[in-house]
Amino acid sequence: MESEKPQNPSPMEPQEEGSNKISKKEAAKLERQRRRQEAAAAAAATAVSTVSIEESDPLSGNYGDVELNDLQSKAVTGRKWTEVGSIAPEMKDRVVLVRGRVQTIRPVGKKIAFVVVRERGFTVQCVLTVKPELVSSQMVKYATSLSKESIIDVEGVVTIPEKPITGATQQQVEVQISKLYCVNRAVPTLPINIEDAARSEVEIEQALEKGEQLVRVNQDTRLNFRILDMRTPANQGIFRIQCQIENIFRQFLLSEGFVGIHTPKLIGGSSEGGSAVFRLDYKGQPACLAQSPQLHKQMAICGDFGRVFEVGPVFRAEDSFTHRHLCEFTGLDVEMEIKEHYSEVMDIVDRLFVAMFDSLNEKCKKELEAVGKQYPFEPLKYLRKTLRLTFAEGIQMLKEAGVEVDPLGDLNTESERKLGQLVAEKYGTEFYILHKYPQAVRPFYTMPCHDNPSYSNSFDVFIRGEEIISGAQRVHVPELLEKRAGECGIDVKTISTYIDSFRYGAPPHGGFGVGLERVVMLFCALNNIRKTSLFPRDPQRIVP
């Protein structure tokens, strides 16, 4: 579970690629690759110097490498820049100045070269054609010497091609280059090519059927060279979708009267119980990295904020080698006063996530399309009013399907997925709430049910058969809280200030925690949470 229940390591679930350990053989291979890059860079530099020095060119001012002195914030020129993604047919005959990366270069003889320029996932085809007093053959030769992924400035006139450009996102336009400058050169041989990293499994399999073999970039390699991997259209989409999820989370809760807070990530003891904490020395005192903001967001409720939320890092030290666990993730946490019933918390979950899904489908169409092109997926099915089932009802559905589950135990990964499948078939939704969980599987601060102490006023929320949210009504009575903490093996002394906060008058309250990366992963039906973490931290990876 993300911010509520400690994650349960699943040793039987295979680890996805994500290790940053490099063998001697791999290290030797990387060293050979580095030497080849240096040699190629030297050769390219020689070629460029030959063009610029040995062949005198009266048009040399229209192209070349930008000198360091000009890159040191030398002057403010007032030039207007155009984003690649905004270049459209209505800009025909307009002069534009764009900065982007060299995606591909295709020379056609000595007088023409096509340069595809990419900026933030958008691409446009630029054409360099020898013309008197404008473009020289040396300029074309210079362009063909540029390495892929180099940063360039291009100035030219927007034109409309006879046929749409299939190799660019801006298919209805071209830019006729008049000036071309290299701002920063990438090494000639990259560890991974962006075209390879952007390729889908479908494309690779189709090529194999035709007897062709395309490069498959595995996840370890992607994460070792994450900067390059980020540049693919799918990754550009994934992290913009992630940003939108965070934005909607904030905006919705602010509109509902919640206050944003920031809680400490260095705490004196475990916030969730168990041993899965990162322990450290804090000026001679034992301390931990916070497993969640749980204790402090509850204390904020005791401080009369009424409704609070937080977006921040969460740390879990479990050795969970699965597709959905990380040692550090971004938590979206909520806590609020309860007037009568913990269903009030579930009401917020319902409206928040329906609003979030609606917003993603409406405002992130291009990003979702980019993700789907590399990682095909079906849009998430969800209801306008989110389905709620009790834990007992979920157990009964599994039982009727031939799956035996302990009615007072937790659901394992297989049971969750099976229940998700059954719910989708019966109710037509892949997003639902399961509530009234057994007390034994919830954290010590979870309020027991009024009519059966074996169960609790708690809930989990699922997307595509996997848990993304855990929440509950909290225990706000200090005597019961001390009793529950002791039963869960927590040293009450380490959380004494937390328990004391309820001695000064505390309203009934509840909340929930969401893992941001997991929401993105499941909304886009991705197979690994490392795809939705910018720089993932798992039991074997702490770089880059």
Does 161 lie in the same domain as 264?
no
Does 208 lie in the same domain as 308?
no
In a domain, 12, yes or no: no
Q: Higher confidence at residue 487 or residue 64?
A: 64
Does 198 lie in the same domain as 175?
no
In a domain, 517, yes or no: yes
Among the options 16, 174, 272, 318, which is catalytic?
318
Does 175 lie in the same domain as 198?
no
Does 102 lie in the same domain as 249?
no
Does 443 lie in the same domain as 309?
yes
pLDDT-based confidence at residue 51 (cuts at 50, 70, 90): very low
Does 456 lie in the same domain as 363?
yes
pLDDT-based confidence at residue 1 (cuts at 50, 70, 90): very low
pLDDT at 7 over 90: no
345: domain CATH number is 3.30.930.10
Among the options 2, 16, 310, 467, which is catalytic?
467
Domain range enclosing 198 = 194-221
pLDDT at 273 over 60: no
For 174, counting Cβ atoms within 10 Å of its Cβ (0-12 exposed, 13-18 middle, 19+ buried), the class is buried
Helix (H, G, I), strand (E, B) or coil at 515: strand
Quick one: pLDDT at residue 55? Answer: 61
In a domain, 226, yes or no: no
| Tens of pLDDT, residues 437-460 | 999 999 899 999 999 999 999 999
Helix (H) or strand (E) holding 38: helix 24-49
User: What does the block give as tokens for 44?
Assistant: 């390219």
| Tens of pLDDT, residues 519-544 | 999 999 999 999 999 999 999 999 99
In a domain, 39, yes or no: no
- Please state the three-class secondary structure of 399-419 as a single string: HHCCCCCCCCCCCCHHHHHHH
DSSP letter (8 states) at residue 65 = E
CB atoms within 10 A of CB 403: 15
Give the span between the Cα atoms of 223 and 326, in whole angstroms: 14
pLDDT-based confidence at residue 270 (cuts at 50, 70, 90): low
**Partner residues linked to 330 by β-bridges:** 313
What mean pLDDT value characterizes the chain? 90
Tokens 């063909």: give the residue.
144
Give the span between the Cα atoms of 104 and 121, in whole angstroms: 14
| Tens of pLDDT, residues 167-217 | 999 999 999 999 999 999 999 999 999 999 999 999 999 999 999 999 999
Does 366 lie in the same domain as 242?
yes
User: What does the block give as tokens for 153?
Assistant: 């400035």
User: What does the block give as tokens for 302?
Assistant: 């005791």
Q: Which has the closest alpha carbon to 403: 385, 390, 391, 416?
A: 416
Task: Work out the average pLDDT over 391-404.
Answer: 96
Does 168 lie in the same domain as 212?
no
Does 214 lie in the same domain as 140?
no
Q: Is 467 a catalytic residue?
A: yes
Does 205 lie in the same domain as 176?
no
Does 292 lie in the same domain as 328?
yes
Residues 436, 472 contacting (CB under 8 angstroms): no
In a domain, 37, yes or no: no
169: domain CATH number is 2.40.50.140
Among the options 435, 518, 530, 537, which is catalytic?
518
pLDDT-based confidence at residue 276 (cuts at 50, 70, 90): confident
Q: Is 470 a catalytic residue?
A: yes
Strand order through the sheet with 285-289:
266-267, 285-289, 279-282
Give the span between the Cα atoms of 61 and 68, in whole angstroms: 16
Helix (H) or strand (E) holding 285: strand 285-289
In a domain, 159, yes or no: yes
- Count up the domains in the chain and report the number: 3
**Partner residues linked to 181 by β-bridges:** 64, 153
Q: Is 324 a catalytic residue?
A: yes
Q: Higher confidence at residue 441 or residue 276?
A: 441
User: What does the block give as tokens for 259?
Assistant: 């206050």
Query: How many separate helices (H) and strands (E) can be counted in the chain?
Result: 16, 17
In a domain, 73, yes or no: yes
| Tens of pLDDT, residues 236-248 | 999 999 999 999 9
CA 420 to each of CA 111, 355, 428, 450: distance values in angstroms, whole numbers, following the listed order:
60, 21, 10, 28
Quick one: pLDDT at residue 53? Answer: 37
- In terms of DSSP H, where are the helices of 135-183? 137-144
Global pTM reads 0.88
In a domain, 10, yes or no: no
- In terms of DSSP H, where are the helices of 214-338? 219-224, 226-229, 233-255, 294-302
Task: Work out the average pLDDT over 12-31.
Answer: 50
| Tens of pLDDT, residues 461-475 | 999 999 999 999 999
Q: Is 518 a catalytic residue?
A: yes
